[in-house]
């Protein structure tokens, strides 16, 4: 579907010029052939790029009239892309780390001031997957890095962005932070995981790189597969999962405390409605406190190290102390 509304005017401008001033084949000076323009949407606004294109004007040169575009252009966006690489990276993080849906990501970008459609969010998510696949398949770079390193510590885990879909199993080296293998599997049986680890072992054996340890979330099928493929390699529970399991009783107690705290601060919305027709200083202050309470209630953290109940208690205490100070100051002024 074609664009139905005009694109907003660019708020920033940048001129990109090639670094090369001489032809790499014949050595003759490159001349400016023409200028072209492209508009790129980034998180900080809409950028209008003026692209200076140089060309070799030597007729006998093999690169005669071949366009030399600015090297810097590649860090702004993909070829023919309208959105910056930082937006693609943000969508990838939201999708695969926070498991957000396309409508949620769309609303999140709109809240940041990025003019984008849901269809474009889907396309950018696909571009992110392609970029990740290209990096994972850069075998020569990974081989050179692992051979220089000489050893690896493997981490294996499964990612499932949507319930009911295939699980993406990822095997990563913790030392170099390189992904060694990523493959979707219909099941998480011991046989499937064993075949996955055997493939990784075969690659490492060819490179003569030793496996010093394996880290996982402690699932039984993973443990059995690791014991079969790497029988003499230490297998450790992931630190994050270890902390999460160890702090689960504290987390449940904190969550219960947060639920109880919320019961004592209900009724913010009726107060806000009662203040809608008032514009005096007292009403403005009360609206500010209502907003602070609402913000405290909606703030969430991530287990196991973020105790949201304690955070809520601390914020509500600060709001209560602030109200008490205002009341004391008001009573002192009335004396």
pLDDT at 265: 78
Q: What is the mean pLDDT of residues 164-174?
A: 79
Highest mean pLDDT, choosing among 23-37, 128-142, 268-282, 292-306 = 23-37
Confidence band for 120, pLDDT divided at 50, 70 and 90: very high
Distance of alpha carbon 82 from its chain centroid, rounded?
A: 19
The verdict on pTM exceeding 0.75 is no
Q: Give the 3-state secondary structure of residue 282.
A: helix
Would you give the DSSP letter of residue 30? P
pLDDT at 86: 93
- Write the pLDDT tens digit of every residue in 73-93: 988 999 889 999 999 999 999
C-alpha radius of gyration, the chain, whole number: 28
How much is the mean pLDDT over the chain? Answer: 84
- Name the residue with higher pLDDT: 40 or 170: 40
- HEC profile of 152-191: EEEEEEEECCCCCCCEEEEEEECCCCCEEEEEEECCCCHH
- Location of structure tokens 């199993």: 169
pLDDT at 299: 67
- Write the pLDDT tens digit of every residue in 191-234: 889 999 999 999 898 888 999 999 988 788 888 999 999 998 99
- Write the pLDDT tens digit of every residue in 138-160: 778 888 888 888 899 999 988 76
CA distances to 54, 83, 157 from 224, rounded to whole Å, are 60, 45, 14
pLDDT at 160: 61
Beta strands in the chain (DSSP E): 12-16, 31-42, 45-55, 67-68, 151-159, 167-173, 179-185, 210-216, 235-237
Confidence band for 305, pLDDT divided at 50, 70 and 90: low
Query: d(Cα 21, Cα 176) in Å, to the nearest integer?
Result: 37
Confidence band for 1, pLDDT divided at 50, 70 and 90: very low
Q: Are 176 and 150 in contact (CB under 8 A)?
A: no
pLDDT at 161 over 60: no
pLDDT at 329: 80
pLDDT at 144: 87
């Amino acid at each position: 579907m074609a664009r139905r509304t005009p694109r907003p005017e660019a708020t920033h401008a940048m001129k990109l010029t090639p670094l090369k001033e001489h032809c790499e084949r014949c050595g003759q000076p490159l001349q400016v052939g023409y200028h072209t323009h492209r508009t790129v949407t980034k998180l900080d606004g809409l950028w209008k790029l003026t692209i200076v294109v140089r060309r070799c004007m030597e007729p006998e040169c093999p690169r005669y009239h071949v366009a030399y575009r600015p090297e810097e252009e590649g860090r702004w966006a993909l070829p023919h892309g309208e959105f910056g690489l930082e937006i693609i990276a943000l969508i990838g993080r939201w999708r695969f780390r926070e498991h957000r849906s396309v409508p949620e990501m769309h609303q999140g970008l709109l809240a940041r001031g990025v003019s984008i459609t849901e269809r474009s969010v889907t396309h950018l998510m696909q571009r992110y997957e392609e970029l990740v696949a290209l990096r994972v398949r850069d075998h020569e770079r990974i081989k050179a890095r692992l051979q220089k390193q000489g050893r690896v510590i493997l981490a294996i885990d499964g990612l499932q962005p949507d319930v009911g879909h295939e699980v993406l199993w990822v095997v990563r080296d913790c030392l170099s932070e390189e992904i060694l293998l990523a493959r979707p599997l219909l099941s998480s049986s011991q046989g499937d995981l064993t075949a996955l680890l055997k493939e990784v072992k075969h690659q490492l054996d060819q490179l003569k790189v030793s496996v010093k340890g394996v880290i996982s979330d402690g699932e039984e099928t993973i443990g059995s597969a690791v014991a079969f493929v790497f029988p003499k390699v230490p297998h450790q529970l992931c630190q994050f999962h270890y902390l999460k399991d160890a702090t689960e009783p504290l987390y449940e107690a904190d969550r219960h405390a947060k639920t109880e705290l919320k019961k004592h601060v209900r009724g913010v919305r009726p107060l806000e409605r009662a203040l809608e027709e008032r514009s005096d200083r007292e009403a403005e202050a009360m609206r500010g406190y209502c907003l602070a309470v609402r913000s405290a209630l909606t703030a969430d953290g991530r287990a196991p190290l973020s105790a949201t109940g304690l955070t809520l208690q601390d914020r509500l205490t600060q709001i209560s102390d602030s109200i008490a100070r205002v009341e004391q100051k008001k009573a002192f002024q009335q004396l």
